[in-house]
Amino acid sequence: MKPEVSSRQALHVAMASPEIAPFAKTGGLGDVLGSLPKALQRLGLRVSLIMPAYRSVLRSGFPLTDTGVRFTVPISNRQEPGSLLKGKMGGDIPVYLVRADRYFDRNYLYGTAKGDYSDNAERFTFFARAILEVLKLDPPSIVHAHDWQSALAIAFLETQHYLYPELCSAKTVLTVHNLGHQGIFWHLDWHLLNLDWSFFTPRYLEFHGKINFLKGGLVFADAITTVSPTYAEEVKTADQGFGLEGVFQERAASLTGILNGADRDIWSPETDPFIEKRYSLSDLSGKQACKADLQRCFCLPENPHVPLIGMVSRLTAQKGFDLLKETLGKLVSGGVQLALLGTGDSRYRKFLTKLCMQYPDNVGVRIAFDETLAHKIIAGADLFLMPSRYEPGGLTQIYSLRYGTIPIVRATGGLRDTIEEFDPETRRGTGFVFDRYDARDLLAAVELALGLFSQKEEWAALMRNAMQADFSWDQSARAYLDLYRNLLDANDAFRAGGLGRREQFHGSSSVREQKGEVI
């Protein structure tokens, strides 16, 4: 792909995220940050990445170097130290890892099975401040933060710009990957942020008497993106706004939905190192070998004629598991096989364990996070089920298309944007879609898919459609590039008017600076 930005004009984008694959990932956020930067680099952008140096990263054998950079950031009434490590992704994209063992040298990223870490407010306040300290060393044109763990960096930059003069011309972007996670903490943690109490109001970071980290980013970011166009509309509604719909409505002019993509270097049946036999659109013979392998992995009878439904999912209500509690028994009792991989709520784990015991020849469940097995499910299953209550973007349905594994999805968020209902008459479409969040509608969609599965010619046409669908990162990366360029053009317009963006927002000088207050 020809670069769209020359090296002489290379636009520097710095992305901050709590997860970046392959260094650390719990879901789609890590996958996006492991793929999007490479697509942006192919367009000619200079990209750098920032994340915490978790224990798992330090112990996983990634080649990391100590940059020698040491810094401190204000946390409450003290200065907390940190240091900076450096790794690489995709050959030459720098990944800067903020090391502070007090905060990140733990077994898990955000919490244990018993719940979130009690000091997450302090941990990610530190990370947000550290992001800005790192960026001061090599100021970017765009600061692009992802999710609530990084959002405060934008709030700090906008409200205390005088602390970060090196970044005065940078534009800010916040991407919301899942509004169900906002970083909400009690008001007694406010002292950690070192912000004036005037920002603890409904206009800024206050949220029903608590501090909302994500809201801080949403209020102050120059641009906001979500991970699909439909989700950008849904977050403005009471049903899916999670209490922040008013903020999204007010910031609608700055809100864009940009669809996630799939990294073809990782998710392709032609090159996948994890599957039993590779295959392609022109030679699907390997698909049956992958199905047999999957059945063996889950101790299911090897039968190429039995429909095999795959799922790779967190076991949460968001992912539709309350609907599945009503429907899976009916499906597997009718002879369908199910192979499911995931971790999550104990109530769903107990339900699935009981289902396995009741239908050992039809149900296989692995409660784990297993990247290899995820590839095997997506390659070996006939159908891929995603009955989500809401789904901001989704990636696994895009992966399944690439492998000719037909998605059954609810029409929400990125699922609506990526899956087209198959029409047997025109032979157009890539999967099966149901609208209402209702168990009967889910069952109807599955039964429709199972009916088509028995019609081999139509099923082959559907598989061809799915495998030819193009959801690579190229188009999405261009949308981000356009967004960045528009922001910088607007910045140039402000400068031409003689007043910088932050000076315009706050006034020519900070009132608190004039008073000499420590905030």
Structure confidence at residue 90 as a pLDDT band (50, 70, 90): confident
Residue 295 and residue 379 share a domain = yes
At 337, which CATH number? 3.40.50.2000
Residue 395 and residue 332 share a domain = yes
In a domain, 71, yes or no: no
Where do we find the tokens 């009503």? Answer: 326
Q: Is the pLDDT of residue 519 over 50?
A: no
Residue 491 and residue 444 share a domain = no
Residue 460 and residue 511 share a domain = no
Mean pLDDT in residue range 390-416: 97
3-class secondary-structure state, position 379? helix
3-class secondary-structure state, position 209? coil
The pair of structure tokens assigned to 117 is: 């870490």
Residue 422 and residue 345 share a domain = yes
In a domain, 315, yes or no: yes
Position 201 scores a pLDDT of: 97
Tens-digit pLDDT profile for residues 109-130: 999 888 999 999 999 999 999 9
Residue 310 and residue 427 share a domain = yes
Residue 343 and residue 234 share a domain = no
Residue 201: which domain range? 7-49+122-261+474-515
Q: Is the pLDDT of residue 267 over 50?
A: yes
CA distance 27 to 210: 27
The pair of structure tokens assigned to 514 is: 């004039």
Q: Is the pLDDT of residue 511 over 90?
A: no
Residue 309 and residue 256 share a domain = no
Residue 241 and residue 203 share a domain = yes
The pair of structure tokens assigned to 472 is: 């690579």
Residue 387 and residue 328 share a domain = yes
In a domain, 106, yes or no: no
The pair of structure tokens assigned to 484 is: 């960045």
Query: In 199-324, where do the E strands start and end?
Result: 206-207, 210-212, 223-226, 255-257, 308-312
Residue 454 and residue 306 share a domain = yes
Q: Is the pLDDT of residue 285 over 60?
A: yes
DSSP H helices in 206-345: 213-220, 229-234, 245-250, 285-297, 321-333
Q: Is the pLDDT of residue 497 over 60?
A: no
Percent of the chain with pLDDT over 90: 89
In a domain, 113, yes or no: no
Average pLDDT, the chain: 92
Mean pLDDT in residue range 38-64: 96
Q: Is the pLDDT of residue 387 over 50?
A: yes
Structure confidence at residue 221 as a pLDDT band (50, 70, 90): very high
Tens-digit pLDDT profile for residues 425-479: 999 999 999 999 999 999 999 999 999 999 999 999 999 999 999 998 999 999 9
In a domain, 63, yes or no: no
The pair of structure tokens assigned to 430 is: 């890539």
- Phi and psi at residue 33, in whole multiples of 5°? -75, -15
Residue 436 and residue 358 share a domain = yes
